[in-house]
Amino acid sequence: MTEIFPLPDESEETVGHRADAVVVGAGIAGLSTGLFLRRRTGGRIVVIDSGTPGCGASGHGSGIIRVHNSDLDEMLLAESGARVFRNWTEVIGGADVFSRRGVLWLVGTGDVETLTRNVRAQKTLGLSAELLGPRDVAVLVPGIRVGDLGGAAYDPDGGTVIGPDVMNALAVQALAEGVELRTFEPVRRLLTRGGAVAGVETDAGVVDAPTVVVAAGAWTRNVLLTAGVDLPIQAVRATIGTVYAPPSLREAPAVFDEVNDASYVPKQNGTAVISARARRTPWPP
């Protein structure tokens, strides 16, 4: 790689400008990377966000923690993530953030065969999964209409989290363990020296680091472009809303409905997040 943005002269730098690693973005990916880097290396780890922890997708998602998928590798990856949420206090620290209410993945009659295959694969991996028929689903979700339903994959160990709570808990833990968190400080560009990334430049100045992790979510492409790397990430805008959950559905599993391209995600605070993926549009437009 060519030296696109050379660092300022060495003599201009101070120790305060140096870190062992810089993480760009304080979403779930960036903050957890920062926390585990700190635990493993004990070094000076700086996490920088243009806003606050969780101001991106991590604080605005539906919060479904599920493992069921059509891809084996993704199932294993999802399981290792879900294990963190299920054992939050031991793995991260602080109070539990996870509600184990189960997750249902609903499909139409034409997709039952594929669903059956995926559930079987999930079980082969030793992961909890059940194949349910429409009547079973109607018992788990009072009032649901199952007329056009073929079947469902049920993750009994799946559940929900509240995004902003997770991000607050993670930020508190990361700070307590010595991660340096800098907010409202956009990273303007990656710095390179001798063909390697050597730090970042923010509105507040330069941070020199031999390791830079770009975890800027939907903005990752823009950040990488400043070092001449074009990673073809295409973001989409999704529409979700929060409602008060009807009392009869407060304890129900989270439901992802492939038939109607929608989801219903009850939360431990009496609300529910509803979504309709049909309205997804490329972002930026």
| Residue in 29, 45, 127, 149 binding ligand FAD, rule: CB under 6 A | 29
58 binds ligand FAD (CB under 6 A): yes
Burial of 116 (0-12, 13-18, 19+ CB in 10 A): middle
- Torsion angles phi and psi, residue 98, rounded to 5: -105, 135
| Residue in 229, 240, 249, 259 binding ligand FAD, rule: CB under 6 A | 240
Nearer to ligand FAD, 1 or 225 (CB): 225
**Amino acid, res. 220:** T
28 binds ligand FAD (CB under 6 A): yes
The DSSP-derived string for 164-221 is HHHHHHHHHHHHHTT-EEE-S--EEEEEEETTEEEEEEETTEEEE-SEEEE--GGGHH
Rounded to the nearest whole angstrom, what is the least distance from the CB of residue 147 to ligand FAD in the complex?
26
| Residue 153: half-sphere exposure toward Cβ, Cα within 13 Å | 28
Nearer to ligand FAD, 51 or 108 (CB): 51
Rounded to the nearest whole angstrom, what is the least distance from the CB of residue 57 to ligand FAD in the complex?
4
Rounded to the nearest whole angstrom, what is the least distance from the CB of residue 138 to ligand FAD in the complex?
23
Nearer to ligand FAD, 109 or 269 (CB): 269
Rounded to the nearest whole angstrom, what is the least distance from the CB of residue 11 to ligand FAD in the complex?
27
Q: Per the structure block, which two tokens stand in for 48?
A: 């920088």
| Residue in 44, 45, 46, 49 binding ligand FAD, rule: CB under 6 A | 49
| Secondary structure class of 28 (helix, strand, coil) | helix
45 binds ligand FAD (CB under 6 A): no
Yes or no: say if 1 and 195 are a contact pair by the CB < 8 Å rule.
yes
Closest listed residue to residue 185, CA positions, set 34, 22, 58: 22
Yes or no: say if 195 and 3 are a contact pair by the CB < 8 Å rule.
yes
56 binds ligand FAD (CB under 6 A): yes
Q: Which stretch binds ligand FAD (CB under 6 A): 5-13, 49-57, 126-134, 138-146?
A: 49-57
| Residue in 13, 17, 18, 57 binding ligand FAD, rule: CB under 6 A | 57
Give the integer Cα–Cα distance in Å for 13 and 275: 48
Nearer to ligand FAD, 52 or 116 (CB): 52
Which residues of the chain form contacts with ligand FAD (CB under 6 A)?
24-30, 48-51, 55-58, 60-64, 186-187, 215-219, 223, 238, 240
